[in-house]
Structure 1
């Protein structure tokens, strides 16, 4: 999809973003709104859920394989690492490859991998299948640049927010419905059902995508090699990527470990009941449109600053939640609101700061998920050795790194 020069959006200009990027927009099309946007949001919800299927099922998986939940917690991190790897190799292709064919191929690979997960004979085979499924589950990040490019300039953040709302709805569905279905039918049927939904929604989305001939620049995976240089040339993209890595890492540390706390001695809840806790994630779906409007009106920088302050408040509340349940309720709402507000602002900035939106989006999302996967892995170890307080400490450190590193670099500049 070729792009024409345009002025930066109000959100980017007020938010401290670079105006060097070339982004199509300002006119909008029927494909960028209405039923087309709704289908993309639903497809995003279904595919994003695949990355988080294992988290609410850890207790059931451990029981099936004769292990303990903390001993299989690393599988949730494998899913995030797989997604980051898929983003590195596949998402940049959105600038050079026909999206319809790419979405179709990735949908088929994801479906096969989810079926392999459902019949996995052990943790090694399950982790491998989850890694492949997550690596191929990059369809949302192929569609977000398309939505942003076709949105009217004054409403770009709102359109991006609609897709992000679908993404977080999928995350909530993975935790809530995954936990309930796993308790009722077994964890293997959860992966099998996800395979069916992924196939149906992925192919339906591919059918309605515009058939476009992308300009080919360099090698097929040239976007991958261009990532480091793109981050160096765009301070705004670098800042958005690091800040989202800190935010997403804090969220991942807390959220992927939450099932261990809720089903452990502190609360002793069942997998299904613990899964219902994910309903607090609906905060994200409600906040996304509001955050999009705030970014379009006030700019990305202010929204991200407010999101970090809210996340900083949520961390001690999560720590307190290791002892009293009401604190977990408040903290869950706060961390989801902070994450989605930060995500809408940072991703809108990332998509509008360079002339290669798909590649820039890859750098941004890979940074976020790499931060999330690393924090999740550390949180699992921290929970084993230090309990829930260790998990809260990991989240606090990740927030401090995300903001502190960007503040230092900005000050030096």
Structure 2
């Protein structure tokens, strides 16, 4: 079990300049957008890559999947290190590794070399998940969710930019230029962010990757973390099932849209960036549980709209906005809860993100098969099933004794950090977000 972060470990002995402190949150949001975009960089460029390699898009499509597996591996290996390793050094190193891998990908002459570069870049581009726990720790208790929302807004903006801007720039200048440009942005923003981050004194005890080994026990001992993981897996699974299959519907016999036109649906992802600040304020005011309930209700409304969208285009517009708003509201609420539910926020955040990723990847795989056998109705059925499983399996508390024990453990962790004013605020915020 990794050593808990105490006030002594997390203090900042060298005060940061006032200017650096003021621009820290916007800079983290921007760095998050750029690094998150790297995961989805190859997806809109696949036709260009295939043409360059003398292949077909279907033959190189697996490169985009490699990015997902690389990101998952990076989450498991690197994200828990945020509890024990100097974050400034880790962010700088990972940013440089990502940039080098992207440059290697731009120079690749074949699919295998490109896939290897994408794998390394995606595994190292976990910087956002190192920064979110830091933002949550340093934020005032009454504004914690709003600060987390600012970072998440950057993440979703990066995903949209990768799909929309990446495709447009690649069409104009070639896919290799997109990779090189992403490498430059990643290196510059990564190094600047690392420089501005607060100086932390970390005294690690035990194995370097103890956080990875501790993941199961951390989830088992915190009912609030377990609930956040399962609910977000259900929500992200529903979104992934619908969103990854949408291009098949739009380019199929019903709408006959081009790939470029279908790709513009990614602009609906900007709804997430608009909703994020509002959702953060609602979590701070009403607590995480209430926001998640209404997010699930909105997602449930979007499923029949998506089904109707199989024949009516306007229904798809409304459904796309609704599912993105539901996803980001649920994500902000659940991640805030996950970050305040244990004394090892980086490890808890890793468990949370991996759970959501697993739910999304599994539902996406099932949706592809469902579309082949049952068409668009099968995809919407998978989304509805995932939402049902995510909510029903967590609707009943796992026993008042366990919950009480978890709350007592959280209070104990908070008291161990009472030497710092931020820790005292975290305790109050944790009690509010954990209410369900």
TM-score by length of 2: 0.82
- 1:3 maps onto 2:20 in alignment: no
User: Shift of the alpha carbon at 1:215?
Assistant: 2.2
Query: Is the contact made by 1:81 and 1:373 (CA closer than 8 Å) also made in structure 2?
Result: no
Larger radius of gyration: 2
Q: Taking structure 1 as the reference length, what is the TM-score of the superposition?
A: 0.87
- Cα distance in 1 for partners of 2:303, 2:108 equals 36
RMSD value, Cα: 2.8
Offset, 1:69 = 5.0
Deviation at 1:294, TM superposition (A): 0.6
Q: Determine if contact 1:249/1:373 at 8 Å carries over to the other structure.
A: yes
Match of 1:132 among 89, 104, 120: 120
Query: How many residue pairs get matched?
Result: 394
Partner of 2:41: 53
| SS class of match (1:322) | coil
Matching residue of 2:291: 303
Residue of 256, 280, 285 corresponding to 1:292 = 280
Of 302, 307, 321, which aligns to 2:309?
321
**Whole-Å separation in 2 of the counterparts to 1:42 and 1:293:** 20
Give per-residue Cα distances to partners, 1:25-82, cap 9 Å, x unaligned.
xxxx968963110000000011111112233334444555566656655444432222
What is the aligned counterpart of 1:262 among 250, 268, 273? 250
Match 1:273 to one of 258, 261, 266: 261
Q: What is the CA–CA distance in structure 2 between the aligned matches of 1:230 and 1:31, rounded to whole Å?
A: 37
Which consecutive unaligned segments of at least 5 residues does structure 1 have? 6-22
Partner of 1:18: none
1:411–1:52: structure 2 CA closer, same or farther, 3 Å change rule? farther
Contact 1:253/1:376 (8 A) holds in 2? yes
1:64/1:266 CA distance change after superposition, 3 Å: farther
Structure 1 residues 282-291 or 66-75, which shifts more? 66-75
Structure 2 partner of 1:10: none
Superposition map of 1:151-166 within 5 A: 151-166=139-154
2:393 to 390, 405, 408: 405
Q: Within 2, Cα distance between the matches of 1:46 and 1:58?
A: 20
SS of structure 2 residue aligned to 1:407: coil
Supply the distance in 1 between the matched residues of 2:61 and 2:393 (Cα, whole angstroms): 29
Higher relative contact order (CA 8 A, sep 6+): 1
Q: Distance in 1 between matches of 2:373 and 2:250?
A: 17
Counterpart of 2:394 in 1: which secondary structure? helix
Deviations 1:281-337 (CA, angstroms, capped at 9, x unpaired): 111111111111111111101100111111112122223323322122111101110
Partner Cα distance (1:186, 1:262) in 2: 25
Cα distance change on mapping 1:362 and 1:386 into 2, 3 Å = same
Q: Does the CA contact (< 8 Å) of 1:180 and 1:271 recur in 2?
A: no
Partner of 1:364: 352
Superposition pairs for residues 370-409 of structure 1, below 5 Å? Answer: 370-407=358-395
1:91 corresponds to 2:84: no
